Amino acid sequence: MNEVHSSGKLDAQAIAEAVRQGMYAKDHASKGLGMQIEAVGPGYARLTMTVRRDMLNGFAICHGGFITTLADSAFAYACNSYNALTVAAGIVVDFVTSAHEGDRLVAEAREISRSGATGIYDITVTNQHGKTVAVMRGRSHTLKGKHVVDL
Amino acid sequence: MNEVHSSGKLDAQAIAEAVRQGMYAKDHASKGLGMQIEAVGPGYARLTMTVRRDMLNGFAICHGGFITTLADSAFAYACNSYNALTVAAGIVVDFVTSAHEGDRLVAEAREISRSGATGIYDITVTNQHGKTVAVMRGRSHTLKGKHVVDL
Amino acid sequence: MNEVHSSGKLDAQAIAEAVRQGMYAKDHASKGLGMQIEAVGPGYARLTMTVRRDMLNGFAICHGGFITTLADSAFAYACNSYNALTVAAGIVVDFVTSAHEGDRLVAEAREISRSGATGIYDITVTNQHGKTVAVMRGRSHTLKGKHVVDL
Amino acid sequence: MNEVHSSGKLDAQAIAEAVRQGMYAKDHASKGLGMQIEAVGPGYARLTMTVRRDMLNGFAICHGGFITTLADSAFAYACNSYNALTVAAGIVVDFVTSAHEGDRLVAEAREISRSGATGIYDITVTNQHGKTVAVMRGRSHTLKGKHVVDL
Q: What percent of chain D clears pLDDT 90, i.e. is strictly above it?
A: 91
Identify any residues that bridge with C124 across adjacent strands, giving them in sequence order: C108, C135
Q: Is D130 on the interface with B (CB under 8 A)?
A: no
**CATH number of the domain residue B57 falls in:** 3.10.129.10
Sheet with C118-126, side-by-side order of all strands:
C36-41, C44-50, C104-115, C118-126, C132-142, C86-95, D86-95, D132-142, D118-126, D104-115, D44-50, D36-41
Handedness of CA B29, A20, B50, B110 (dihedral sign): negative
Return the number of CB contacts < 8 Å for B and C: 11
Q: Is A89 on the interface with D (CB under 8 A)?
A: yes
Q: Count H helices, E strands: chain C?
A: 3, 6
Q: Is A76 on the interface with B (CB under 8 A)?
A: yes
Q: Is C143 on the interface with B (CB under 8 A)?
A: no
List C-alpha distances in Å: D41 to A113, B40, D14, D105, D110.
34, 35, 8, 20, 10
| pLDDT(C2) > 50 | no
CA distance C6 to chain D (A): 28
Question: Distance between CA atoms of B148 and B140, rounded to whole angstroms?
Answer: 15
| Residue to substitute from B108, B112, B127, B140, interface D, most D β-carbons within 10 A | B112
Q: Is D137 on the interface with B (CB under 8 A)?
A: yes
Contact between D103 and D62 under an 8 Å Cβ cutoff? The reply is yes
Question: Distance between CA atoms of B105 and B72, rounded to whole angstroms?
Answer: 13
Question: Which range (A7-21, A47-61, B79-93, D128-142) has the least confidence?
Answer: A7-21
pLDDT at position A9 is 53
Instruction: Check CB contact under 8 Å for D139 and B92.
Output: no
Mean pLDDT of chain D, nearest integer: 94
A2 in any annotated domain: no
B81 in any annotated domain: yes
pLDDT at position C151 is 87
Helix or strand or coil: residue C106? strand
**Model confidence band, residue D151 (pLDDT cutoffs 50, 70, 90):** confident
Contact between C72 and D68 under an 8 Å Cβ cutoff? The reply is yes
pLDDT at position C5 is 47
* Structure ipTM: 0.93
Mean pLDDT of chain C, nearest integer: 94
Q: Which pLDDT tens digit goes with each residue over C50-102? A: 999 999 999 999 999 999 999 999 999 999 999 999 999 999 999 999 999 99
Q: What percent of chain B clears pLDDT 70, i.e. is strictly above it?
A: 93
C150 in any annotated domain: no
Helix or strand or coil: residue D24? helix
CA distance A15 to chain B (A): 16
D58, with CB counted inside 10 A (0-12, 13-18, 19+), is buried
Instruction: Check CB contact under 8 Å for B137 and D139.
Output: no
Average pLDDT over residues D51-74: 97
Q: Is A114 on the interface with D (CB under 8 A)?
A: no
D31 in any annotated domain: yes
Residues on chain D touching A94 (C-beta within 8 angstroms): none
**Model confidence band, residue D9 (pLDDT cutoffs 50, 70, 90):** low
Work out how many domains chain D is built from and give that number: 1
Contact between B33 and B53 under an 8 Å Cβ cutoff? The reply is no
User: In chain D, helix, strand, coil percent, each to 5?
Assistant: 30, 40, 35
Mean pLDDT of chain B, nearest integer: 94
Task: Find the angle CA(D38)-CA(D22)-CA(D106) to the nearest 5 degrees.
Answer: 20
A1 in any annotated domain: no
Per the structure, the complete domain to which residue D98 belongs is given by: 8-142
Q: What percent of chain B clears pLDDT 90, i.e. is strictly above it?
A: 91
A137 in any annotated domain: yes
| pLDDT(C147) > 60 | yes
pTM for the structure as a whole: 0.93
Question: Distance between CA atoms of D113 and B96, rounded to whole angstroms?
Answer: 8
C43 in any annotated domain: yes
pLDDT along chain A (151 residues), means of 10: 49 96 97 98 98 96 98 98 97 97 98 95 98 98 94 87
Question: Distance between CA atoms of C126 and C88, rounded to whole angstroms?
Answer: 21
